[in-house]
Structure 1
Amino acid sequence: MIGIRVFRAIDDPDACQKYIEGHRRILEIHGVVKITSYKHDWVDDPHTMVILVEEQESGRVMGGARLQLRRSGQSLPIELALSKYDPKILEMVHQAELNGGTCELCGLWNSMEVAGMGIGSYILSRIGAAISTQLPIASIFVLCSPVTVRMGRRVGAVVERQLGNNGLFYYPKDDLIATAMLLSDCDTLHHADPKERELIFDLRKTPFQLRTEIGPKGQFDLEYNVLIKNLNYNLANS
């Protein structure tokens, strides 16, 4: 059985290390050995949430992502990645932080064992949008590869065409393209695909559930546990 759970990075250091190692291996497979924004100081940040995909019987990590809040004085990875190409990203993140709070969905990866199941391409981003209402944020930044732009659009993110070349950057290598996107309405998801929006709202309503998912490679059961423990945000006053 495959399970997905969400937790604050500081609450499970061992799981964070497994996530880091798995992500590193996937990056190396794709010839990416160094990313400017790939630092690990987020493991000590109480405002970083980890979305982890695990084989429940063995505890083996098969993928994941992070939702890093811009609250603790640390720059978002997208700021570190893009500011040398276009410094406007810094002001854009700053304004988003002032306008209800912001974060970044980043570090998204999945292992070869679950490739083609839709976990990395759709489910992780769906969970990122779903858990946003547990947090003091109104928007989510994401830096997408060409194959994940469609993923961003499905959950309601739009390309930030004010940045780079109509939102495009050569990153993390000169022969790779990344697209800067922003989900600006976490609560309503006005721009999301209607079916995707329905799934996200269902996860918000029922954060613990067992669902049969249908991916490109067929059906599989997935256990969700997306209620974040140990949060001390007062959303009413955020």
Structure 2
Amino acid sequence: MSEELNQPEVRIRAFRAIDDPESSQRFIDGHRKVLEVHGVKKVTSANNSWAENPAVFVVIVESLDRKKVYGGARVHAAGGTQPLPIEEATGFMDPKIHELVKELSIEGTGELCGLWNSVEVAGLGVGSFFATRAGAVITKQLGIKSLFALCAPYTVRWAERVGCKIITDLGNQGTFYYPKLDLLATAVLLEDTTTLEHARGSEQRKIEELRKNLQQVTTEVSPGRRIEVEVEYDLLVEGIDPQEFKNPFNLNLSNQQ
């Protein structure tokens, strides 16, 4: 952040995890510190093997000189070297998640996860809301039609703004105790990342505008404290084939009617 919090400047950048190991490690270190502050020492889906998974893409919120990381999120495409984090986290409680992922993977599916922000930017929406939006933006490049997320109570509203709906068929009306028994998580799904049918109108317009211009500098207004944040977006992911994550499990399409 710049010295003056009333004029913060950040970069929101997207990249394939294996293409930038150094930035992936900075993301890991920052996320771990935030989890420890909240008393969470170990999270099932927070092991760091994702950094070597070619189907993982990082949205990092950083200082313009890249020395500090303020937050971010990850997008995992189904069909990489690991199950989706939501499968690892909830599959033993409700195995239906595995079949749902496979079904949606035919047209490309994935998960927005690892959402966090540092205390330094708390209330600005930088690591939560803006990163959620950026995650939705890059799904078009990845060829991912649908997007899962497992939300903490305070992030459900951000997910709903970009068009996610609670998956009431899973768990207890979509909820699970995770990552520990006194914390509640909600499973949500963005059914169509192309149409963004259920997104708030202003979010549809913003996501489409960012998709048309993936590299830009703009002034955003934090949804919470209404503070202006100058954001340099760099959401162009290099080396992507939009067919890469279509039907990754080679399912027999003739049986998927």
Q: Structure 1 length as normaliser, TM-score?
A: 0.95
Q: Distance in 2 between matches of 1:108 and 1:58?
A: 19
2:198 matched residue in structure 1: 191
2:112 matched residue in structure 1: 105
C-alpha contact (below 8 Å) 2:94/2:171 kept by paired residues = yes
Listed as ranges, the matches of 1:84-163 within 5 Å are 84-98=92-106, 100-163=107-170
What is the DSSP-based 3-state SS (H/G/I as helix, E as strand, rest coil) of the residue aligned with 2:203? helix
What is the DSSP-based 3-state SS (H/G/I as helix, E as strand, rest coil) of the residue aligned with 2:230? strand
* Distance apart, 1:58 and its partner CA: 5.3
Listed as ranges, the matches of 1:25-44 within 5 Å are 25-44=33-52
- Counterpart of 2:239, as a letter, is N
Deviating beyond 6 angstroms after TM superposition, the runs of 4 or more aligned structure 1 residues are none
Listed as ranges, the matches of 1:160-179 within 5 Å are 160-179=167-186
Q: Distance in 1 between matches of 2:123 and 2:39?
A: 20
2:10 matched residue in structure 1: 2
2:238 matched residue in structure 1: 229
- Counterpart of 1:168, as a letter, is T
Q: Distance in 2 between matches of 1:153 and 1:234?
A: 27
Q: Distance in 2 between matches of 1:121 and 1:92?
A: 26
- Counterpart of 2:88, as a letter, is L
Q: Distance in 1 between matches of 2:47 and 2:139?
A: 23
What is the DSSP-based 3-state SS (H/G/I as helix, E as strand, rest coil) of the residue aligned with 1:174? coil
* Distance apart, 1:234 and its partner CA: 4.1
Number of residues of Structure 1 aligned to a counterpart in Structure 2: 236
What is the DSSP-based 3-state SS (H/G/I as helix, E as strand, rest coil) of the residue aligned with 1:81? helix
What is the CA deviation profile of residues 34-66 of structure 1, one whole-angstrom value per residue up to 9, with x for unaligned ones? 111122121112211100111113521111111
Name which of structure 1's ranges 170-179 and 56-65 shifts more when overlaid on structure 2. Answer: 56-65
Q: Structure 2 length as normaliser, TM-score?
A: 0.88
Kindly tell me: are residues 173 and 234 of structure 1, through their superposed partners in 2, closer, same or farther at Cα, counting changes over 3 Å? closer
What is the CA deviation profile of residues 185-210 of structure 1, one whole-angstrom value per residue up to 9, with x for unaligned ones? 01000000000111100100111111
Q: Distance in 2 between matches of 1:58 and 1:142?
A: 27
* Distance apart, 1:73 and its partner CA: 4.2
Kindly tell me: are residues 113 and 188 of structure 1, through their superposed partners in 2, closer, same or farther at Cα, counting changes over 3 Å? same
Q: Distance in 1 between matches of 2:89 and 2:243?
A: 31
Structure 1: tracts of 5 or more residues without a match:
none
* Distance apart, 1:72 and its partner CA: 2.0
Structure 2: tracts of 5 or more residues without a match:
1-8, 248-257
- Counterpart of 2:103, as a letter, is Q
Q: Distance in 2 between matches of 1:132 and 1:110?
A: 21
